[in-house]
Amino acid sequence: MTNRIYQLKITLKDIHPPVWRRVQVPETYSLLQLHDVIQTVFGWLDYHLHEFKINNQSYGDPDDDEYDYFGTLDEVQFRLKDVLKSEKQRFTYTYDFGDDWVHYLLVEKILDAEKGVSYPRCLAGKRACPPEDVGGPYGYVRFLEALGDPDDEEHEEYTDWIGGDFDTEAFTLDETNNLLQEPLRKWSGERIPPQGEYDEDKYKNVVSKQRKKLAGWEHHPAAIKAPLRLDMVTLLTYVRNNNVIGTKALGNFPRKVVRAIATQFVNPPVLDHEIGDKIFHFQSEENVRPVYFLHVLADLNWLLTGGPGMPWQLSENGKDFLEDVPIKQDWFLFQSWWKKVNWLFFHTFTPYDEPTLYEYKHVMLDMLLSLPVEQPIEHEAFSKHLLSVIGPPGPPYSLDDALRVFCQTLDWMLIHYLEGFGVVRCKYIDDTIMGYKFKSLENFSVTLFGKTLLSMLRERDGLEPQQ
């Protein structure tokens, strides 16, 4: 039987004049092999993650979808003829979730293979591919502006970075086709197996059970009302609906943006502090921890793209996140915070270092799971017990000082966020130190909803390959 050939036109989004390629690829090629073709004909270097989105289904490397939030199917297992059914069908390929290079693909024709022709092949194309790590479409525009203006303050820096001139029109058809004859991975679609033991059937079974658990909480108030979930939706919605340009130095949100977002939070943070007869205003996003935390969490999970002097925009993942149901949003944020975020980044005043903290996360998870549901636990007693398990920090801290500091650390670094995800319910009391009034955590209880999320987190821990 003669193989069929898919003729695809591939165009980079948001680049003007357009950068595009027309290719012909066998129907038997896997989506991973199509990824290799795209990388080759555009001139990408395959440094970053990627994803296909076909009929609203994600295809890629499931290991990159760390928590199965996007339900990524393995691109190795799907051939073009399995997912592309007709001419004029459209789909997308996204490369580098930081720069977010979105490629639009159109099935122009489905043809019989020609005798004597070697596939894949490139039929035509226009213009050079942007450089890797240039900062996405907006960064590319800025790069070209600076490169073309010797008086631009960043001209020399960009010239050194690119190694001289950059020809935006550079594209050679013959050279591109020669590269297509040099197989990047023998076009096999095979991947390097993960390190350590990994039971794929067990993983799929656990993921299937966890999806059913999540479905059971889909309309529960605990998921719908989780403050950090609602605040993340607020932040992403604001970025989607407004022109937000990162600060030139660090890429933070401007102060007016921080204020606009923070005032819409479930529990709006205090932005201006009155001391005596003076009012002190916050100076940067980093001074408003609730906004800064969510910005970092969104960036870590590729929900946003942007940077210094660049517009912050929703990535394709960010757009999908906003359209998802509350329980999946909350679960995704909770587990990514637990796994990806260095808690010391947001609370540096602690007697423990990062390696100790890593072990502490596992201990904390076990201890939280051991607590009875909806039963108040005294914060100081819990902190004291945990301190006895992981051990005191040693000099210069006495045991009393260590407990006092540890209680505060545990509250702001952990319990505070668990409450935001709906995992625990807290009771606070009024307290005063040196005339400063504040709310002090008296006790907390693990909710039934929280016990479910913690149990799912432990199930995922058991699936991780041993190094």
Task: Kindly report, residue by residue over 78-123, the tens digit of the pLDDT.
Answer: 899 989 989 999 999 999 988 899 999 999 999 999 988 999 999 9
pTM of the predicted protein model: 0.70
pLDDT band at 194 (very low <50, low <70, confident <90, very high): very low
Interaxial angle between packed helices 227-241 and 326-340, expressed in degrees from 0 to 180 and rounded to the nearest 10: 100
Q: How far is CA 119 from CA 26, 124, 179, 185, 382, in A?
A: 7, 14, 12, 15, 65
- Return the number of other C-beta atoms located less than 10 Å from residue 64's C-beta: 12
Residue 275 lies in a domain: yes
> Can you name the residues that pair with 215 across neighbouring β-strands?
none
Higher pLDDT: 88 or 202? It is 88
* 236 and 173 within one domain: no
Q: Which pLDDT score, from 0 to 100, does residue 467 have?
A: 33
Q: Is residue 396 predicted with pLDDT exceeding 70?
A: no
Contact between residue 401 and residue 409 where contact means Cβ atoms under 8 Å apart: no
The answer for residues whose C-beta is within 8 angstroms of residue 368's C-beta and 6 or more apart is 418, 423, 446, 454
Residue 145 lies in a domain: no
Structurally, how many domains does the chain consist of? Answer: 2
* 452 and 342 within one domain: yes
Residue 363 lies in a domain: yes
CATH code assigned at 48: 3.10.290.30
* 68 and 207 within one domain: no
Q: Which pLDDT score, from 0 to 100, does residue 395 have?
A: 60
The answer for residues whose C-beta is within 8 angstroms of residue 404's C-beta and 6 or more apart is none
Q: Where in the sequence is the domain holding 176, given as residue range(s)?
A: 4-128+167-180
Residue 154 lies in a domain: no
CA dihedral sign of residues 355, 357, 361, 363: positive
Distance of alpha carbon 75 from alpha carbon 179, whole angstroms = 22
* 257 and 108 within one domain: no
Exposure string for 73-87, b = 16+ CB within 10 A, e = fewer: bbbbebbbeebbeee
Exposure string for 202-239, b = 16+ CB within 10 A, e = fewer: ebeebbeebeeebeebeeeebbbebebbbbbbbbbebb
Instruction: Choose among 54, 9, 6: nearest CA to 26.
Output: 6
* 325 and 272 within one domain: yes
Which of 120, 146, 180 is the C-terminal boundary of a domain?
180
Distance of alpha carbon 91 from alpha carbon 376, whole angstroms = 51
Q: How far is CA 13 from the centre of its chain?
A: 21
pLDDT band at 186 (very low <50, low <70, confident <90, very high): very low
pLDDT band at 397 (very low <50, low <70, confident <90, very high): low
Which of 180, 213, 246 is the C-terminal boundary of a domain?
180
Residue 136 lies in a domain: no
For residue 403 the two structure tokens come to 């407990």
Residue 35 lies in a domain: yes
Q: Which pLDDT score, from 0 to 100, does residue 341 have?
A: 80
* 267 and 333 within one domain: yes
Chain length of the chain: 467
* 115 and 210 within one domain: no
Contact between residue 322 and residue 233 where contact means Cβ atoms under 8 Å apart: yes
Contact between residue 312 and residue 306 where contact means Cβ atoms under 8 Å apart: yes
* 393 and 250 within one domain: yes
For residue 327 the two structure tokens come to 């329980």
Q: Is residue 66 predicted with pLDDT exceeding 70?
A: no
Task: Kindly report, residue by residue over 209-263, the tens digit of the pLDDT.
Answer: 777 778 778 888 989 999 999 999 999 999 999 999 999 878 899 999 999 999 9
For tokens 């799907």, name the residue.
Answer: 78
Mean confidence (pLDDT) of the chain: 84
3-state SS, 392-441, equals CCCCCCCHHHHHHHHHHHHHHHHHHHHHHCCCEEEEEEEEEECCEEEEEE
Residue 157 lies in a domain: no
3-class SS at 40?
A: helix
Residue 142 lies in a domain: no
* 176 and 100 within one domain: yes
DSSP class of 79: B
Q: What are the contacts of 460-464 at 24+ separation with CB within 8 A?
A: 460/67, 460/206, 460/210, 460/335, 461/362, 461/365, 463/198, 463/199, 463/202, 463/203, 463/206
For residue 6 the two structure tokens come to 């898919």
Contact between residue 334 and residue 217 where contact means Cβ atoms under 8 Å apart: no
* 265 and 369 within one domain: yes
pLDDT band at 357 (very low <50, low <70, confident <90, very high): low
* 206 and 176 within one domain: no
* 330 and 243 within one domain: yes
